[in-house]
Structure 1
Amino acid sequence: MLHTLAWSSLFFLGLFALSTWALRRARPEWTVYDCLMISTRLVSSAQALLATGSGIIIVYYCRDVVNDRGLGETGGTSLLAASSRQN
């Protein structure tokens, strides 16, 4: 899970930096604020597309989205098992 978080942080930060750099080179007449705003919107759009794709995959492969468990999830890694260990 931490690997996924680290890689996604690097991916989205890299996408933001790359798009800001590319906009500054492609449109030198734009202000820094304009380039940052467009880059922020680009990264937000990428996150929205990936989240929507993930949701579609989950809905497609689960019969009961609320109660189905993940394919790789076992009793030891489920949220229910984790919460019962805390109590």
Structure 2
Amino acid sequence: MLLTLASGALFFPGLFALCTWALRRSRPGWSRTDCVMISTRLVSSVHAVLATGSGIVIVRSCDDVITGRAFGETSGISSSAASSWQN
């Protein structure tokens, strides 16, 4: 989990810096503000696509969330215990 956090902390600022640098080199007529704005939007789009993809993977890996939670609550097991039991 910590490795994933560190990877994200390096990937997104690195992508932003790379996009800003590439735009400034490829479009010398654009102002720095324009390059930063486009880079921010590009990084936000990449982040949204990756977040959506991970959400789809999580949803597809769950069989039935409602039944799974109801089983833990009706059998006298707390929700936190049931979730740790499933992991």
TM-score (norm 2): 0.73
Equivalent residue runs for 1:47-66 within 5 Å: 47-65=47-65
Instruction: Work out the CA distance in 1 between the residues paired with 2:65 and 2:57.
Output: 11
Render the CA deviation track for 1:49-80: whole Å, top value 9, x for unaligned.
00000011111110234786xxxxxxxxxx92
State the match for 2:42 in structure 1.
42
Aligned-pair identity (%): 66
Instruction: Work out the CA distance in 1 between the residues paired with 2:66 and 2:20.
Output: 39
Equivalent residue runs for 1:3-42 within 5 Å: 3-42=3-42
Instruction: Work out the CA distance in 1 between the residues paired with 2:67 and 2:13.
Output: 34
Instruction: Give the number of the structure whose alpha-carbon radius of gyration is greater.
Output: 2
Gaps of 5+ in 1: 69-78, 82-87
- Between structures 1 and 2, the one with greater helix share: 2
Aligned positions, number:
71
TM-score (norm 1): 0.73
What CA RMSD, in Å, does the superposition of the two structures yield over aligned residues? 1.9
